[in-house]
Amino acid sequence: MSREIIAILRGITPDEAVPIADALVDAGITRIEVPLNSPDAFNSIGQMLEAHGQNAMIGAGTVLDVRDVERLHEMGAHMVVSPDANASVIVATKQADMLSFPGVMTPTECFAALQAGADGLKLFPASLLGVDGLKAIGAVLPKGTKTYAVGGVGPANFAEWFAAGITGFGIGSALFKPGMSVADVASRAADMVAAYDAGA
Q: Which residues are catalytic?
A: 33, 122
DSSP string, 7-46: EE-TT--HHHHHHHHHHHHHHT--EEEEETTSTTHHHHHH
Backbone phi, then psi, for 180, in 5-degree steps?
-70, 140
User: 30 by DSSP, 3-state: which?
Assistant: coil
Nearest to 16 by CA among 177, 195, 197, 198: 177
